[in-house]
Structure 1
């Protein structure tokens, strides 16, 4: 039985550590690990993908050479000991030191929350509570600061950038020129 088929029959029966989850490798679906449970999400929509693409370009253009922007990569939040059911999130974009990314790849491990300088989540109508509340709390618990945020609107999608680590002010990419600010997005506190 393939790892994917086995996993899909095992979702409600097993709590995964970060190591268990990482050992599954690439899967045919978008997933994250939340307190040991694998949470499967639908594929990205066209609007979601376009928003992430626009933000990737904007953020990458503002980075110094020692930093890299990586879309959709698993991050070990390291909220519990390694032998406990863990939490792995796959933000839409992360910014990390090039050296940390290379080290993680050489060691065959996921990037750790302690190596993340910036996380960006693209908020869709079906993920508002998860992105605004659950993930934001998890990122804060993992030591990824959430000093400030920006919300942008394009059609029915909002973009929420969580502030960079070790920064006294929020430094986020500007919204795409075709996406004017609007009050239709909900505040991160809702």
Structure 2
């Protein structure tokens, strides 16, 4: 997690973002060059992330790497956007010291809705991840019941391909037990 010791007086570039010192105390994303503090998720949210990540890891069959709270560069340059999805699925064999992925290099971004992120995850991140070229976006509503909406990138925009409850056979080649997440 990047640390924001003082408020910058300009929009941050990706290089400036990368140069900031690391911190586990604060959680920041970068939105069009502006650092945005994100609240730490509550216990239920964290459990859901952990259980979902474990299911994906067990079923992945070498097709991808499961990365919790991993930086995803949506846009680089002078007014960069860097998001931290709940989970990122990266390419298989990802080098251990890789600090972040660029959108088109990711296999999927996964967000779990929470009271403070509903609009951000349903509207803004949906558009940002599509513009960045992330092939799959999974949006999880904790429920009960847990609902997983699967979006696939088609001609630069996401199309909803399935809304799953109970069992979720994903286009990623894995099937999730959503009832076991709650």
TM-score by length of 1: 0.73
Q: Which residue of 1 aligns with 2:38?
A: 41
Cα distance in 1, alignment partners of residues 181 and 64 from structure 2: 27
CA deviation profile, 1:14-40 (whole Å, cap 9, x unmatched): 211112112114222111000000000
CA 1:17/1:136 → structure 2, altered by over 3 Å: closer, same or farther?
A: same
CA 1:103/1:87 → structure 2, altered by over 3 Å: closer, same or farther?
A: same
Q: Which residue of 2 aligns with 1:102?
A: 95
Deviation of the 1:77 alpha carbon: 1.3
Greater fraction of residues in helix: 1
2:117 to 120, 124, 127: 127
Instruction: Find runs of 4+ consecutive structure 1 residues off by over 3 angstroms.
Output: 145-152, 158-166
1:174 equivalent to 2:170? Answer no
Cα distance in 1, alignment partners of residues 26 and 91 from structure 2: 27
Cα distance in 2, alignment partners of residues 40 and 175 from structure 1: 30
Structural RMSD (CA) = 3.0
Deviation of the 1:177 alpha carbon: 2.5
Listed as ranges, the gaps of 5+ residues in structure 1 are 180-190
**Which residues in structure 2 correspond to 1:21-40 (within 5 Å)?**
21-27=17-23, 28-40=25-37
Q: Which residue of 1 aligns with 2:134?
A: 144
CA 1:8/1:113 → structure 2, altered by over 3 Å: closer, same or farther?
A: same
Listed as ranges, the gaps of 5+ residues in structure 2 are 163-169
The secondary structure found in structure 2 opposite 1:10 is coil
CA 1:71/1:159 → structure 2, altered by over 3 Å: closer, same or farther?
A: farther
Deviation of the 1:178 alpha carbon: 6.0
CA 1:95/1:38 → structure 2, altered by over 3 Å: closer, same or farther?
A: same
Deviation of the 1:164 alpha carbon: 6.2
TM-score by length of 2: 0.76
